[in-house]
Amino acid sequence: MAETIPSAQSTEIRPTGEDNVIEVLDLHVHFFTTLGVVRALNGVTFKIPRGRVLGVVGESGSGKSVTGFSIMQLVQHPGKIVKGQILLKARKDDQPINILKYDRHSQQMRNIRGNEVGMIFQEPMTSLNPSYTVGNQIQEAILLHQTPDKDEAWRRTVDILRRVGMPNPERIARSYPHELSGGMRQRAMIAMALSCTPSLLIADEPTTALDVTTEAQILDLMRELQKDIGMSIMFITHNMGVVAQMCDEVVVMYLGRIVERASVEEIFYDPKHPYTVALLRSIPRIGLSKGEKLEVIKGGVPDSYSTVTGCPFHPRCPNFMPGICDKVMPAETPIEGNPHHTVRCHLYPGSAAEAEVETSGLAPGTAPAAS
Ligand SMILES: Nc1ncnc2c1ncn2[C@@H]1O[C@H](COP(=O)(O)OP(=O)(O)O)[C@@H](O)[C@H]1O
Ligand SMILES: [Mg+2]
């Protein structure tokens, strides 16, 4: 099982003092595989203001899920959080706490998972137990966290199933997960995550497996519930269309780093990083003229065991500048006149080198001998 090692608590960074439900600071997660160390996250820093929706986008393998799992302290073996802080401020008047000081198996962490932070996984069966009815599972969670009264817990169970748009919530509550369609199961999982009214909901590609009609319904519903109960959402997706619909702010991830962050409007109308531009060009859009093709991003994400020096995107970048981009890791730089829009790219003035040059892949000296 992965655990937090002492260095995760040592370098204290001060929280911003704003009302952020979560602040992730300089998070590093490594997977200690038999072939070497895979650096899945290389210093990820972001925050989610209370009641806001943050989109986390990037191609497969960029570290989106590992970031979500880290907040739940559910990074699986052989993964470890090796550095960083995760500051949770569940309620407005709370002091932020660095949850990495709790053991992942501790009672405190279990409380956080059930009460303060909920997670919706891509595959509903990850969190639904096939041997209990949907209603039993939600009722259990409510009994554990909200009320000891069984009848009251059942009433709340049916109510939450109704709120996630189940047509006949009493009947659904008495059904087993396998008796439901994919869309219904997804709604049941959302109901379960919402049944504890978490301050933060982590939604990891929650609608990827669904047909577009069900997807649209579920997205509407999440947005509605988010407004109703004022929770914050970390919305992980590789679908930029979903981002436009759901999010207030966006971070773009590439190979375990955030390469751009901005409001959703700025990401769509004024993207700065060549990777963000490429991601946007690869989605269908209104105004695409007849015969104009969607672009694909050149090349693929390098495999986890190869090392890239300089900017991790340089081998695929249309704006690649030899001698700079392949040598120096660009630091996170605010776009002039807008401290809330930042980018890691040498095209932008002020993107000084970051001290650390190593980007991802194997730690030095651990490459397999035969390769
Ligand atoms: N069990 C694992 N063993 C080794 N490496 C892993 C494991 N899980 C994740 N990783 C590494 O973490 C990277 C990020 O994974 P992930 O967060 O799942 O990507 P995303 O959700 O953006 O598709 C992967 O590319 C891989 O290198
Ligand atoms: Mg993922």
- 319-336 confidence digits (pLDDT tens): 999 999 999 999 999 998
Crossing angle of helices 212-229 and 182-194, in 10° steps, is: 10
Beta bridge partners of 330: 353
CB of 205 closer than 8 Å to CB of 122: yes
Look at strands 257-263 and 97-98 and give their pairing.
Answer: unpaired
Residue 198's domain spans which residues?
20-255
Calpha distance 350→120 (Å, rounded): 39
What's the confidence (pLDDT) of residue 214?
A: 75
Q: Is 304 in the pocket of ligand 1 (CB under 6 A)?
A: yes
Q: Is residue 367 part of a domain?
A: no
* Residue from 37, 57, 66, 121 to probe ligand 1 pocket by mutation (most atoms less than 8 Å from CB): 66
The answer to whether 187 and 194 have CB atoms below 8 angstroms apart is no
Cis bond before residue 167 (omega within 30° of 0): no
pLDDT over 90 for what percent of the chain? Answer: 56
**Which residue, by CA, sits nearest to atom 12 of ligand 1?**
40
pLDDT digits (tens, 9 = 90+) for 133-189: 999 999 998 888 788 999 999 999 999 898 888 889 999 999 999 999 888 888 898
Q: What is the pTM of this model?
A: 0.86
- Tell which wins on pLDDT, 11 or 116: 116
Q: Specify whether the CB–CB gap between 45 and 15 falls below 8 A.
A: no
Note the pLDDT tens digit of each residue in 223-274. Answer: 887 888 888 999 999 888 889 989 999 999 999 999 999 999 999 999 999 9
Q: Does residue 4's CB lie within 6 angstroms of at least one atom of ligand 1?
A: no
Structure confidence at residue 314 as a pLDDT band (50, 70, 90): very high
DSSP per residue, 162-226 = HHTT-SSHHHHHTS-GGGS-HHHHHHHHHHHHHTT--SEEEEESTTTTS-HHHHHHHHHHHHHHH
Please check whether residue 365 lies inside any domain of the structure. Answer: no
- Which pLDDT score is estimated for 186? 86
Are 166 and 240 within one domain? yes
Cα(274) to ligand 2 centroid in Å equals 22
Neighbours of ion ligand 2 (CB under 5 A): 65
20-69 tens-digit pLDDT: 999 999 999 999 999 889 999 999 999 999 999 999 999 889 999 999 99
Give the position, in ligand 1's atom list, of the atom nearest the Cα of 304: 27
Based on the fold, state whether residues 198 and 321 are members of the same structural domain: no
- Return the residue whose CA atom lies nearest to atom 14 of ligand 1: 63
Token pair 């959302």 in the structure block, residue: 190
| 62 assigned to some structural domain | yes
**Looking at the 3D structure of the chain, how many domains does it have?**
2
128 lines ligand 1 (CB under 6 A): no
pLDDT digits (tens, 9 = 90+) for 177-203: 999 988 888 889 888 888 878 899 999
Asked if residue 371 belongs to a domain, the reply is: no
From CA 79, how far away is CA 69, in angstroms rounded? 11
* Rounded distance between C-alpha atoms, residue 204 and residue 202, angstroms: 6
The pLDDT value recorded for residue 225 is: 76
Residue 56 falls within a domain, yes or no? yes
Residue ending a domain, choose from 193, 226, 255? 255
